[in-house]
Structure 1
Amino acid sequence: MQFRTKARAVDLLGKGQIADLPTAITELWKNGYDAYADNLKAELFKKGYNGLTKSYFTISDDGKGMSNSDILDKWLVLGTDSKSRAETDIESEDTLWKRPRIKAGEKGIGRLSVAYLGNPMLMLTKKIGYPLQALFFDWRLLENYNLFLDDINIPLKSVEKLNTLESIFADLKNEFLLNFEKETDLDNKPIWEGKQIELKSEIVTNTKEALLEAPVLDKIFSFFNSDDSHGTLFLTFNPINQILELAENDNDGLEDRKFVISSLTGFTNPFKDIKIDVSTIFNINKGIETYDLLNSRGNFFTKSDFDLADVYIKGEFNGNGTFEGKIRIYNEIIDYSYTNPRKKDKRSFYGAIPLELGYSQGEEKSSSLTESQFAGLFNKVREYGGLYIFRDNFRVLPYGRENADFLNFEQRRSKRAGTYYFSYRRMYGYLDITRERNEHLKDKSSREGLINNAQYRAFTNDAINFFVTLAQDYFGTEAKQSIFLDKKKELNDQHEALKADKAREKAEKIAFTKSLNAYPQKLDEHQNKYRDLLNILDEKLNNINVTYSEVESILDELQKMDLDFKALIPKVPKHYKPTETQKERLYKFEDKLNNYFELIKPKRDELNKKAQDKLEIRDLKIDFSKKYNGYIFSLEKALNENRQQLDEKFTSLSKEYRERSKRLINSLSENKERVINEIFSKEQVNQFTNEIEMQYNSLFVEAERKLFPLVNHIKRLKFEINQEEVEGAYKAQYDQMKYQWEQTRDTAQLGIAVEIIDHEFNQLYAKINNQLGVLGNNEVVNSIKEFRFLEKNFKQLEDKYALLSPLYRISGALIKDISCNKIFNYLLEFFENQILEYNIYFDVSDNFRNHIINIKEPVIHTVFINIINNAIYWLRNKEQRVIKLDYLIDTQEIIIANSGEKIPDYRLDKIFDLFYSQRPNGRGIGLYLSKQSLNEAGLDIYATNDVKYNSLKGACFVINKKVN
């Protein structure tokens, strides 16, 4: 007698043992890794993509692949044990000449998880030096409980040439359909009966309808595109709905997509320095787009995220209940040891398990991170937070998922968060197990976690009690050590102070914005009223017999409006930094107000003189006296209003101080009589003395924190020091430092990118330079205008590259005397089209034409190109489009000016900062590089609105000698 195996047994071992979709994909990826693949990919081709009439799903790896005999002797043999014997591998052709790997699979049935993905299936696999192998099968055939394994034929064929794949695929389908021709078994019983008949019909129909459409064929051909290609690709023709729904954007399947992403992300351990060099991708091909599903909800954790943790734990469980390691609480590191007092039994020894864990505070105010750092980490923790388990650096599912809180953190927190500090949703990190160290911690056959044996129970008991005790020691509301609570309180207080400051800044911002919005109307009203008063005054003064009484009220009103003139411009709060748009509006307001003043002042002066001529000295003295008193009154009014506000604030603060003080005193004194009456022994005297002292210390600390700082602040105030200006200056300095840091970071990233491509650019420049040199020796070519232009442009491009990488200088442009007239003619050629299109006029002085500059030609050309290019942009909407080039002999300065937009005074220096630009889509690099390259040549450039230079009242640049 011997066992016979029903086909259904394979179905139970395969699809029946897979818990979910991510587990199925993970099992196949593990097999790919075990086959020495470096790239593991899942890919959904959604119906409609590039004209597809159906949806398809593929799983592929670029591992060693299989030959015909490998499939027959290994892949189709269940329970192959070679995976558990990693020592049998040696670096050879069989490992693709890679270092031998510890196998990720262990049971020899992971390959059957492909049945979970849908049906039917085509497997294509190729080993180096062997032809492509094609295997077709529909796993649902195994669901027939009347079939034995030896009744089933799995068609397998070699594909010598890829262009024959379609015909071979048709042969495979026909051969597979032969499985359904037999109607009865040896006992003459029907093989297909009852509901199985419907299953048979569905399998046959799906097999006949299975097609290799063009986009899918392209995928296959690109994967196996040469004789040296290797790897395995599974193609599923009718993917399960769960796969298809991953491509949807609706909210219905949001949780399921999140579940799949969180399960497949972190396939290998990203938290360790030594990482497994394997790439995992899950592409969604839908419509006209392709994107990686695994990155669609943000990047996964990296080891550097531990640096951002407010609480960081690193250590090791020894397998017998003891943890040894270090705890970092904010910036303080503590050696920590814990031993679980459970009963020790060698049968519960689970082996050493390292732990590394970061913990993110739930509120920004309790974190030491910056706002952007906290937001970035918070988003990661929200998406992927949890405690992961990795075996031999491969993730063990379901640990790390949102619902896989196997140490019951949230269950304990629901009872009392103040005692059970740790939350599963706020942590990120891993437990590191291996087959060698932790041989008794094994996966369930369903891959739904570790088997609940004695070793697993001992470990979870140790881990749970470790976290409970650690919380009691440092993190609970009644913690034995106050390190965490003190620091958290300090951060909370700082946060509240900053929050209050931001609220004040926000209020000032709103008030400033309102005043900006209201300004145009106020100015118009002031201007119209002022003009009307001047006209009325003019009319009255034209009267020969005008008296003072007739014009007195008009003169009074004009003086009042003169005093109100300065108050028209909105005041910028000291604590608030206006936006660039607001600065621009403010600048235009000031410009408009000044223009208004310049326009109205001659008329006002004329009427003042006219009034003096018409009025008697007595009347003029009366008017002068009233003006004098008007100034005094205006000053008194401003001072008194502010003094009144000061008195009110002092009264309010003093009242609040008394009330808070009274509450603190009452807290200490209210129980005095009761406590004294309860004392009946000497021991109680000591006990109550300690309690009162503790209460006093607590209340005094509160006073030091909330009351005394205000008094100290007021004591430090002096009329000689403008506290608001000091705070504003420090804030501006902080904002500038922050801006410079962001610039530095961006520059560093740019530098890294340049460093990566530097070598390739070096060779490319050398080749182009050499080819230009060869062409330049040809008289015919050299006479072509476009070639000379190309040569000059290349020199400019080369010079900019040399600025970024000064160690590489290709052709070495020489410093020489360059005529400014030659520069001007070059600009006319360079901007020929724009000059004609926008009808731009160049005003070029003889001094400029005759001036000589000693510099590298590409450098000075690039500087002028940058400035003229910007000028053309800002000139486009002007009626008069003039660019002026001049040279001042006395000061040895080159002037480049235009009649376009004037540069606001506050921007004159900023425009040379790296990445600063006001042009839409501008990069803010041109002027920065121009200044840098001129500085290298001993020259400098600056922008100015000085009328001495800026005669066109637009943008004006001055090039002069650099002052050391």
Structure 2
Amino acid sequence: MQFRTKARAVDLLGKGQIADLPTAITELWKNGYDAYADNLTAELFKEGFNFLENSYFIISDDGKGMSSSDILDKWLVLGTDSKSRAELDEESEATLWKRPRIKAGEKGIGRLSVAYLGNPMLMLTKKIGFPIEALYFDWRLLENYNLFLDDINIPLKSVNNLNALESVFNDLKKDFQSNFNKEVDLYNKPIWEGKQIELKSEIIANTKEAILEAPILEYIFSFFNSEDSHGTLFLTFNPINQILELAENDNDGLEDRKFVISSLTGFTNPFKDTNIEIFTTFNINKENETFDLLNSRGNFFNKSDFDLADVYINGEFDGNGSFNGIIRIYNESINYTYTNPRKKDKRSLYGCIPIELGYSQGEEKSSNLTENQFNALRNKVTEYGGLYIFRDDFRVLPYGRENADFLGFEERRSKRAGTYYFSYRRMYGYLDLTRDRNEYLKDKSSREGLINNAQYRAFTNDAINFFKTLAQDYFATEAKQSLFIDKKKELNDQHEALKADKAREKADKIAFSKSLNDYPKKLDEHQSKYEHLLNQLDEKLSLINVGYSEVEKILDELQKMDLELKGLIPKVPKRYKPTETQKERLYKFENRLNNYIELVTPKREELNKKAQDKLEIRDLKIDFTKKYNGYISSLEKALNENRQQLDNKFSSLSKDYRERSRRLINSLSENKERIVGEIVSKEQVNHFTNEIEKQYNSLFEETERTLFPLVEHIKRLSFDIDEEQVQGAYKAQYDQMKYQWEQTRDTAQLGIAVEIIDHEFNQLYAKINNQISVLGKNDTVNSIREFNFLEKNFKQLEDKYALLSPLYRISGALIKDVSCNTVYRYLLEFFENQIADYNIKFEVSEAFKSHSIAIKEPVIYTVFINIINNAIYWMRNKEQRIIKLDYLPESNEIIIANSGEKIPDYRLDKIFELFYSQRPNGRGIGLYLSKQSLLESDLEIFASNDKKYNYLNGACFIIKLITEEDV
């Protein structure tokens, strides 16, 4: 007797064990990693893209691929144990000559998750030295409960020539349809019955409809583009709706898209330096648009984000109830230990688990970050915040998802935020599991979390109580230690002061804007009334006999309106710089007022002269006296109004000062009699002395923070210095400098790229023009040869543009982990001609190739291009021409060294100054911009003649991360 296996058992082990779409993709990507792939890709081709009639979904990896024997003996054998034994391979052809990897897969059934993606499926795989193998299958066939595994035919064929792929594909479909030739089993019972007859019809119809359209064939041809190609590609012909909906931009599927993105991002641990260099992409191709889904909602976290954390935890749980590590609260680090007073049992020992966690404050006012830093981090936390679990640096789902709060942070916080403090939505970081250290913390069969065994329960109990105790020690409303509360209050006070200052500035702006809007109407009213008075005065003075009493009232009104002219122009606040639009409006208003004055002045002077002729000296003297008094009265009124405001403000401040002082003194003295009466021992004297001293110090700190600064500010006030104008001038100067710097930087970055283009393109165009002239001579043999040259040079032109195009995308680029090996390959291609022409030896260390930098990709390319370009120039007259790229892991420093001219010690710093250059016709902006660009990514660059770095005895540059010690 022996077991027989129903076909649906495979369906239950595969699709039935997969919780969701991200888990299915993750399982296939893990298999790609285990096959020594470097690039793991998901690709959706939506109907309508490049005229596609159907939608397709592809999962691919550039791993070692499989031969037909591998497929038959391994891929089609479920539960293979090579991964579960966790045996390391030996570096060989089987590892693509890469360092052996710890297997990410474990149960030997992850391959079956491809069934989750849709049906039918075509698998194409190639091993180096072997032909492409093609396998066609529809996983729904396994849903038939009457079929046994040995009843099923899975067609497999070799593809010796890609041009024959369509023919092979059609043969595979015919072979697959042989599964439906048999109508009854050995016992003469129907194999397909009931509702499954409909399933059978659907499978057959889908197989007949499955075609390889031109864009898909092009993709496959580019994937297997040479004899040395290797890897595996799964093509699904009818992707499930959840995949298709990822291409939509509507709000209906927003939550599902966020769920998929947050689940697939961070496939490997981005929070720490690892040896894993895996690149994951999920491209969406729809209509005329292609984008990477995983980057569509912003960058994921990286290790440098821990530097931005206001609270940072780094330590480890020992597996038996204790934690040991450091807690950084704002800028102060504390050694912290904790032991959970639970019952210790060997059966609950879960192994050492390191933890590294950052925490973002909910409000900017409670954070130590700048506004831009706070907003950038808040955006990441909003999208991806949570506590992740990685095993051997691979993500364990569902941990890190919004709904995966397995330690119950939000439940506790909802009960009492002031006690429990920590919020799952504001944290980011990871727990670091490995198979060796934590063998009893295992995944559920559904790959959806860890099994809830004794070890898991012990760990979660330790972690929960650790966070509870830590909150009570430092972060609760009434914490045992006041470090966090004190610093938070200081930041809040600073923020409120700045907020109040901005509010005052905003009020000034609003008042100024209102006056700009009110001005035209005021001027119209003034002009109309003034001209009316002039006309009245003219009429009166035209009379033969006119007395002073008849024109006195008109002259008084005109005098009053003359004094009002100065107040018609809106007063510009001194605390801020008006916008260009506001300045333009103000300029037009002033012009209009000046034109008005020029218009009425001649008539006013004419009437003044007429009045002097008509009126007696006594009358004119009376009018002059009134005018004189009018000026005195106007000045006196303005001064008295402001003096009254000053007296009111001083009175208010003085009253407020007295009330605050009284409250502080009462706080210290109100319990004096009671405390003195309670003292009955010497010990109490010491105790109360300490308590009173602490209270005094606290109250005195409050006065130094609130009352005394105001007094000092008033003491510094002087009629000789306009504080508002000084502050406004500095603000305006800062804004102007910031704007000019941004403009200069962007322009200069573009200039560097244009110079490079100019140099490269001029050479290529010269070649092309020469070859076109040769083609024009109608020499058939030469024409063919030159045409080939022309085609080649156009290809070079295209390639150069492709190389240079990243340099233009600095402003819109996102920070990401850039592989140094990718940078090296880029430089080899970029400087291909110069390296050959000057016989340059371009060396690179393995340490450099395996390192990566968190930075905007165009920035790092521009920096390296500038340094290498300088190196090539200064090596021209050297016999040995060597450029070496290296990385020192112990100090986290990148080295760019060459054997050219050595930089004198006194110039090591000067070469980074703007416009400083020793090259003929050099502009001296490249290194300056390189330094500034790197600073924005918290990196610094410097030159050194230290033999530790400069072992080629030429020019040597070092790039390193800026640490707190460097600041």
TM-score category (smaller protein): 0.7 to 0.9
Aligned 1:481-630 pairs, distance under 5 A: 481-630=481-630
Aligned to 2:297: 297
Q: Distance in 1 between matches of 2:558 and 2:770?
A: 76
2:22 is aligned with 1:22: yes
The alpha-carbon deviation at position 454 of structure 1 amounts to 3.5
Amino acid at match of 2:247: A
Aligned to 2:362: 362
Amino acid at match of 2:456: Y
2:213 is aligned with 1:216: no
Q: Which moved more, 1:625-634 or 1:448-457?
A: 448-457
Q: Distance in 2 between matches of 1:693 and 1:262?
A: 53
Aligned in 2, Cα 1:520/1:92: closer, same or farther, shift over 3 Å?
farther
2:169 is aligned with 1:169: yes
Amino acid at match of 2:113: S
Aligned to 1:427: 427
2:333 is aligned with 1:336: no
The alpha-carbon deviation at position 484 of structure 1 amounts to 1.0
Aligned in 2, Cα 1:65/1:701: closer, same or farther, shift over 3 Å?
same
Aligned to 1:869: none
Amino acid at match of 1:509: K
The alpha-carbon deviation at position 277 of structure 1 amounts to 2.2
Report if aligned partners of 1:547, 1:615 keep a CA contact under 8 Å in 2. Answer: yes
Q: Distance in 1 between matches of 2:529 and 2:203?
A: 91
Aligned to 1:384: 384
Aligned to 1:131: 131
Cα deviation per residue 1:129-160 (whole Å; 9 max; x = unaligned)? 33332211111111222211111001112223
Aligned 1:745-894 pairs, distance under 5 A: 746=746, 751=749, 762-768=759-765
The alpha-carbon deviation at position 349 of structure 1 amounts to 3.7
Cα deviation per residue 1:10-68 (whole Å; 9 max; x = unaligned)? 11211111111100001111112222222222122233334444332221222232222
Q: Which moved more, 1:616-625 or 1:87-96?
A: 87-96
Matched residue of 2:328: which SS? strand
Q: Distance in 2 between matches of 1:268 and 1:183?
A: 48
Aligned 1:458-497 pairs, distance under 5 A: 458-497=458-497
The alpha-carbon deviation at position 493 of structure 1 amounts to 0.8
Output the TM-score relative to the length of structure 2: 0.75
Aligned 1:302-313 pairs, distance under 5 A: 302-313=302-313
Amino acid at match of 2:135: L
Aligned to 2:714: 714
Aligned to 2:353: 353
Q: Distance in 1 between matches of 2:71 and 2:211?
A: 24
Aligned in 2, Cα 1:372/1:158: closer, same or farther, shift over 3 Å?
same
Q: Distance in 2 between matches of 1:765 and 1:605?
A: 71
Aligned to 2:11: 11
Report if aligned partners of 2:88, 2:101 keep a CA contact under 8 Å in 1. Answer: no
Aligned 1:721-736 pairs, distance under 5 A: 721-736=721-736
Report if aligned partners of 2:65, 2:230 keep a CA contact under 8 Å in 1. Answer: yes
Q: Distance in 2 between matches of 1:649 and 1:229?
A: 82
Report if aligned partners of 1:126, 1:132 keep a CA contact under 8 Å in 2. Answer: yes
Report if aligned partners of 1:43, 1:283 keep a CA contact under 8 Å in 2. Answer: yes
Q: Distance in 1 between matches of 2:96 and 2:585?
A: 67
The alpha-carbon deviation at position 261 of structure 1 amounts to 0.8
Amino acid at match of 1:652: S
Cα deviation per residue 1:73-94 (whole Å; 9 max; x = unaligned)? 2211112233356765344443
Matched residue of 2:190: which SS? coil
Aligned in 2, Cα 1:85/1:584: closer, same or farther, shift over 3 Å?
farther
The alpha-carbon deviation at position 767 of structure 1 amounts to 4.8
Cα deviation per residue 1:833-867 (whole Å; 9 max; x = unaligned)? xxxxxxxxxxxxxxxxxxxxxxxxxxxxxxxxxxx
Report if aligned partners of 2:88, 2:100 keep a CA contact under 8 Å in 1. Answer: no
Q: Distance in 1 between matches of 2:428 and 2:55?
A: 36
Amino acid at match of 1:412: R
Report if aligned partners of 1:27, 1:105 keep a CA contact under 8 Å in 2. Answer: yes
Q: Which runs of 5+ in 2 are unaligned?
A: 774-807, 809-830, 834-913, 916-920, 924-967
Q: Distance in 2 between matches of 1:695 and 1:89?
A: 67
Q: Distance in 1 between matches of 2:758 and 2:9?
A: 61
Q: Distance in 2 between matches of 1:414 and 1:738?
A: 43
Amino acid at match of 1:479: A
Aligned to 1:915: none
Amino acid at match of 2:300: F
Q: Distance in 1 between matches of 2:39 and 2:611?
A: 93
Cα deviation per residue 1:285-320 (whole Å; 9 max; x = unaligned)? 233322222122221112221121111122233334
Aligned to 1:265: 265
The alpha-carbon deviation at position 688 of structure 1 amounts to 6.5
The alpha-carbon deviation at position 207 of structure 1 amounts to 2.2
Report if aligned partners of 2:274, 2:393 keep a CA contact under 8 Å in 1. Answer: no
Cα deviation per residue 1:556-593 (whole Å; 9 max; x = unaligned)? 22222221112111111122332222122222222333
Aligned to 2:48: 48
Cα deviation per residue 1:902-936 (whole Å; 9 max; x = unaligned)? xxxxxxxxxxxxxxxxxxxxxxxxxx99xxxxx99
Aligned length: 782
The alpha-carbon deviation at position 164 of structure 1 amounts to 3.2
Q: Which moved more, 1:534-543 or 1:333-342?
A: 534-543
The alpha-carbon deviation at position 515 of structure 1 amounts to 0.6
Report if aligned partners of 1:268, 1:275 keep a CA contact under 8 Å in 2. Answer: no
Cα deviation per residue 1:82-118 (whole Å; 9 max; x = unaligned)? 3356765344443334333332222221111001111
Amino acid at match of 2:761: L
Report if aligned partners of 1:321, 1:462 keep a CA contact under 8 Å in 2. Answer: yes
Aligned to 1:66: 66
Matched residue of 2:419: which SS? coil
Cα deviation per residue 1:424-450 (whole Å; 9 max; x = unaligned)? 111111122223333333222211122
Q: Distance in 2 between matches of 1:579 and 1:338?
A: 57
Aligned to 2:237: 237
Cα deviation per residue 1:913-962 (whole Å; 9 max; x = unaligned)? xxxxxxxxxxxxxxx99xxxxx999xxxxxxxxxxxxxxxxxxxxxxxxx
Q: Distance in 2 between matches of 1:126 and 1:609?
A: 107
Matched residue of 2:102: which SS? coil
Q: Distance in 1 between matches of 2:481 and 2:739?
A: 39
Q: Distance in 2 between matches of 1:352 and 1:628?
A: 92
Matched residue of 1:191: which SS? coil
Q: Which moved more, 1:637-646 or 1:712-721?
A: 712-721
Q: Distance in 2 between matches of 1:689 and 1:720?
A: 48
The alpha-carbon deviation at position 538 of structure 1 amounts to 4.1
Matched residue of 1:328: which SS? strand
2:645 is aligned with 1:645: yes
Aligned in 2, Cα 1:389/1:740: closer, same or farther, shift over 3 Å?
farther
Q: Percent identity?
A: 81
Report if aligned partners of 1:86, 1:101 keep a CA contact under 8 Å in 2. Answer: no
Aligned in 2, Cα 1:721/1:89: closer, same or farther, shift over 3 Å?
same
Report if aligned partners of 1:314, 1:356 keep a CA contact under 8 Å in 2. Answer: yes
Aligned in 2, Cα 1:84/1:755: closer, same or farther, shift over 3 Å?
farther
Report if aligned partners of 2:88, 2:102 keep a CA contact under 8 Å in 1. Answer: no
Report if aligned partners of 2:311, 2:330 keep a CA contact under 8 Å in 1. Answer: yes
Matched residue of 1:407: which SS? coil
Matched residue of 2:128: which SS? coil
The alpha-carbon deviation at position 768 of structure 1 amounts to 4.9
Amino acid at match of 1:138: D
RMSD: 3.4
The alpha-carbon deviation at position 422 of structure 1 amounts to 1.5
Aligned in 2, Cα 1:739/1:234: closer, same or farther, shift over 3 Å?
same
Q: Distance in 2 between matches of 1:773 and 1:159?
A: 44
Aligned to 1:411: 411
Aligned in 2, Cα 1:552/1:573: closer, same or farther, shift over 3 Å?
same
Report if aligned partners of 1:120, 1:236 keep a CA contact under 8 Å in 2. Answer: yes
